Homo-oligomer: A and B are copies of this chain.
Amino acid sequence: MKNFDFYNPTRIVFGQGRIKELDRLVPAEAKVLVLYGGGSVLRNGTLPEVRAALGRRAVLEFAGIEPNPTYETLMEAVALARRERVDFLLAVGGGSVIDGTKFVAAAIPFQGDPWQLLLERGRNVGAAVPFGSVLTLPATGSEMNSGAVITRKEFKAKLAFGSPKLFPVFSVLDPVKTFTLPPRQIANGVVDAFVHVMEQYLTYPAGAHVQDRFSEGLLLTLMELGPRALAEPENYEVRASLMWAATLALNGLIGAGAPQDWATHMIGHELTALFGIDHAQTLAVVLPSVLAEQRAAKRAKLLQYGELVLGITTGSPDERVEAAIAGTRAFFEAMGIATRLGAYGVAADSLDTIVGQLKAHGMTALGERQELDLDASRRVLAASF
């Protein structure tokens, strides 16, 4: 096991009927900016519940944070918060709204051009306005971590940043709020969480026994409950465990002390930035190709994953490796997520453009051993059509 620090001070408030507790969670004297996305939190009643719980506090609202939240939109929220001297932020929505709120929290007090926060990956976050979240979509884990991914439309750039100052103070997770999500969003969330685990697990053996068992436990849970979440949208037990699994997939725990990959995410980000493909869809496309490209380097872990998660115990080691990769792709397809770029209308002649963006963003040595150079990423992409 590698040396590690683990620190996660976010308070999780989990379960049905808990949104009303915002009254004790948000400081009584706070001037609150509530940030959200589209109308879904209005339609499903979450926003009215939030407003009611905040009572007589001074509350402003900022709507319109997009999936893959944009710098352009978020800077409008920053301007509003600065102008109104807001001192607490409340994200209501999914990972995009929470990610966007993290950027706003860091940008409000930042001296200088806030784009620098992204270029410096958050190392220059000096202070942040405190914020909480009300999660409505299990997927990204943003509700219990200190990272975010922000897109700048004019540059077609999607960049990650983070800081220990950007943990939510609290996150309210009410599984009932996920009952009305469209199937595509549930499927995306399951795939997103699944790939988060794989990025921290499917590398090479490192003597991290507990992290391995926890990762396998999350993968088993997602494979068992993902299809049931689609088939039984109002099954509280299923939605609750799915929500908690997605949170724990990226709260720092399973990756602490373990080697991590993240090549799939870095390549996927370019696909979203260039073509607008859903984040989780890009992961479903790229991961099987990354596993195949790295089948030698990842061999021991592919065999372990095959046996303990997918139940693959017969066949030669080579056959089991291939079956593990195929089983991963089959799970994504079974969730209704296409795993080929062609299905998203991306033509093979885009290859140079995508690789060019990877180069422009410095993504020239990806993966747990920094072995994935641009040639390897090109092979990964070529195998993804």
Could you say which residues of chain B place their CB within 8 Å of the CB of A221?
Answer: 209-210, 213
Q: Is the CB of A1 within 8 A of B217?
A: no
Cβ-neighbour of A15 out of B4, B8, B12 (below 8 A): B4
- Residues of chain A from 106 to 135 with CB closer than 8 A to chain B in the complex: none
Least Cβ distance of A266 to chain B in Å?
27
Q: Is the CB of A13 within 8 A of B9?
A: no
Q: Would you call A241 an interface residue if the criterion is a C-beta within 8 Å of the partner chain's C-beta atoms?
A: yes
Q: Is the CB of A210 within 8 A of B1?
A: no
- Number of contact residues on A: which range applies? 35 or more
Q: Would you call A137 an interface residue if the criterion is a C-beta within 8 Å of the partner chain's C-beta atoms?
A: no
Cβ-neighbour of A217 out of B4, B214, B245 (below 8 A): B214
Q: Once bound together, how far apart are the Cα atoms of A16 and B207, in whole Å?
A: 15
Q: Is the CB of A14 within 8 A of B256?
A: yes
Cβ-neighbour of A11 out of B5, B15, B214, B244 (below 8 A): B5
Could you say which residues of chain B place their CB within 8 Å of the CB of A248?
Answer: 210
- Residues of chain A from 200 to 230 with CB closer than 8 A to chain B in the complex: 207-210, 213-214, 216-218, 220-221, 224-225
Could you say which residues of chain B place their CB within 8 Å of the CB of A207?
Answer: 237, 240-241
A-B contact pairs, 10 of them (CB 8 A): A5-B14, A7-B10, A7-B11, A8-B8, A15-B257, A209-B225, A210-B221, A210-B241, A210-B248, A217-B217
Interface residues of A (CB under 8 A from B): 1-18, 207-210, 213-214, 216-218, 220-221, 224-225, 237, 240-241, 244-245, 248, 253, 256-257
In the complex, besides A209-B224, A210-B245, A214-B214, 20 extra interface pairs with C-beta distance below 8 angstroms are: A1-B15, A1-B241, A4-B14, A5-B11, A5-B12, A5-B14, A8-B8, A9-B9, A12-B256, A208-B241, A209-B241, A209-B245, A210-B221, A210-B241, A210-B244, A210-B248, A213-B214, A213-B220, A213-B221, A253-B253
